A and B are shown apart, each in its own frame.
Chain A
Amino acid sequence: MKDMIFGKNEILAASVISRSFESGDEDVIALDRIDLVFQSGTYVALCGPSGCGKSTLLNILGLLDEPSSGVLTLFGRPLNGFDHWDRAKLRREHFGYLFQDGGMIERLSVEENIAAPMLYRGINRGRFEARLDDLLNLFGLASKKRKSVSQLSMGERQRVGLARATIARPAIIVCDEPTASLDEYNSNIVSDYLRSLALDGVLVICATHDPIVYDKCDIVIRMSSGRII
């Protein structure tokens, strides 16, 4: 495991983060006092066995979920007291997401799925048409741009998801098992692209089991039973 690099480029930090869930009468602790600091331009892998809390931590770091206790800091600003509206605003401004199954909106076409984050940001199609075409070409999806995503293979869906996560040039990209359902060829495409994003200054955080991914990461964080080991 490479050492974590802390410095002035710190953009995201978790301080004594815990997360517990109610299961019947008892609380199940999914995360136990996690302390982490992330810098821009870093490719980070969260590894560990199933149920160790990778996805829970990823959801909290990606502002998809809230910690039960502890403080999350984004660009030096603690997020305590932020409501769901404020979090939605931060997600829109700074985050891109790549989910295990691509997280497609099934009824939309390939290009509509990729363009959705820009449309939610109120950007006219004309202003991002060139970037959309670039991404479609980059991921070999140009010929399928008008197809429904439900007609795509898993590898193609994941590439669509990756294009969608990056179209708005977010500062942080959060990926949950991005290569879990992919063959080696597609896994390499996804991982190489994530690596290149990190080189461009994006913070990429991946929950993964896949050596193809974590071998290319700057930092590998290993987790077990809700703790970093």
Chain B
Amino acid sequence: MGYYTHKIALRWALISLLGRKLTSFILILSLTLAISVLFICSSIVSGFTKQVEHLTFGEFNRSLKITQNVIAGQDNGPPTLRDRAAIERTVQSVESTAGWTSEPVTMLTNTVKINTMIYGAIGDYRREIDADILVGRWLTDHEINNYNRLCLIGYELFLRSDEDVRVGQIIYIDNLSCRVIGIVGLPRSMMAREFSQSIITSLRNVEKYRSYENSDNQNLDWLTVYTKNYKNRHDLEINVDKLLRKMHSIPMKYISPYSYRDNALSKENIERHNSAFKQLIYVINGIIMLSVFITYAVMNIYSLKERRREFSIRLSIGGYPSDMVKQVAWEHTIISSFGSIGGLLFGMLGSLAASALGGWPIYLHWSSGFVAVLAGWFTSGCVCWWVAMSVSKTPPALASKP
């Protein structure tokens, strides 16, 4: 003689669920709702967090900005082109670098004269500008690394000039002619905003506008180093400082002549705000999930009351208490499976719909989805355990009471 198999228990669990369509539907719906709500909220929070970070920092959150440390005196620093080359060559995890100088200049077009800034760059300059080219084109790698009298105009400067600047037009910067090859659009991040109000050209071009005192062509106003991984930034700072100290023979016991503006520190502030926002959302989420799970438990208790006679009949016709547990476990497995799939599916669709309809930034947060699924299974498991224990203790004598 064999044993009552899981196959039969599964079949009876299915029949039982189909026989109680409304209850089963509400149970699946409650799990679906709980999981999808957490998934959608997490996706929205995640999307907003990423958007806030990007709006604030753009590419800066993976960068280290090296300037002269004014407290350390003038003996060493600011960083030089030689430092830049050494960092690129020596320090691991460096993705790219950009060296910058800036000068106040006067820009003269056909009709207007504007006092503004000119930024000269060398290397990977486009990341910091963090904008699209509106008209024309970017300076090529060759152009940015050489002298050529070509420049880009920031969008806000273009507006200040009463739109009197055209691509291909010659403008005069401190009386030196320069051809405009592109107008840069509005920056995506706050930290790139300074470029929008300025002229951008190659480092070599800016040297022409420098005063005699500043004319050391090796010096940079700042050097930006991009790391491959945001989490490496502290290591990067240590490695760069070690290298620069070695190059300039500065022992570790002296204060560093370089200042490292770690944008990640500001990022940590933003993260604190984001964390508070996330906590609020998760508390709301927790309340929603708890309510739904309580509904789930109550529905099961109510349903169990209705089914006590059925289980007593099953016990009287040859079922063991463990057979009842098997059937109940399968019922909950089916409900949890459909609830989980439904929750993830509706969560994903809901997130995409929120993004499409409300224009909300969404970043599908699968790990939260899976945490919600686990929470759903845990709740279902606890309720299942309670129901199974109750069912296995059902007095079979109830079968004789119609």
Contacts and interface: CB of A to CB of B under 8 A. Distances in A.
A30 B318 CA distance: 27
Contacts of B319: 88, 92, 120
Nearest to A103: B313
B303 to A, nearest CB: 13
A55 B401 CA distance: 9
B369 to A, nearest CB: 34
Contact of B397 (A65, A106, A123): A65
Interface in A68-127: 84-85, 88-89, 91-92, 95, 97, 99-101, 103-108, 112, 116-117, 119-124
A84 B397 CA distance: 12
B106 interface: no
B395 interface: yes
A64 B8 contact: no
A124 B2 contact: yes
Interface residues of B, number: 30
Given A85-B320, A92-B320, A117-B318, A176 B8 contact: no
B402 A100 contact: yes
B103 interface: no
Q: How large is the interface on A (under 10, 10 to 19, 20 to 34, 35 or more residues)?
A: 35 or more
A105 B318 contact: no
Given A58-B400, A106-B310, A120 B323 contact: yes
Contact of B321 (A85, A100, A101, A117): A85
B320 A122 contact: no
Contacts of B5: 122
A103 B2 contact: no
A197 B98 CA distance: 99
A119 B320 CA distance: 12
A103 B313 CA distance: 6
Interface in B294-318: 310, 313-318
Interface string B118-138: 000000000000000000000
B15 A88 contact: no
Contacts of B315: 88, 91
Contacts of B4: 119-122
Contact of A106 (B3, B19, B323, B396): B19
A159 interface: no
Interface in B382-402: 393, 395-397, 399-400, 402
Nearest to B399: A103
B318 A91 contact: yes
B16 interface: yes
Interface centre among A58, A85, A97, A124 (most CB of B within 10 A): A97
Contacts of A100: 400, 402
B316 A91 contact: yes
Interface string A123-158: 110000000000000000000000000000000000
Contacts of A99: 313, 399-400, 402
A122 B2 CA distance: 4
Nearest to A101: B402
Interface centre among A55, A62, A84 (most CB of B within 10 A): A84
Interface in B257-300: none
A225 interface: no
B18 interface: yes
B318 A120 contact: yes
A171 interface: no
Nearest to A181: B402
Contacts of A120: 4, 314, 317-320, 323
Interface in A38-64: 55, 58-59, 62-64
Interface string B200-216: 00000000000000000
Contacts of A59: 397, 400
A8 to B, nearest CB: 28
A55 B313 CA distance: 16
A122 B396 contact: no
Contacts of B71: none
Given A64-B399, A64-B400, A92 B19 contact: no
Contacts of B85: none
B16 A107 contact: yes
B196 to A, nearest CB: 70
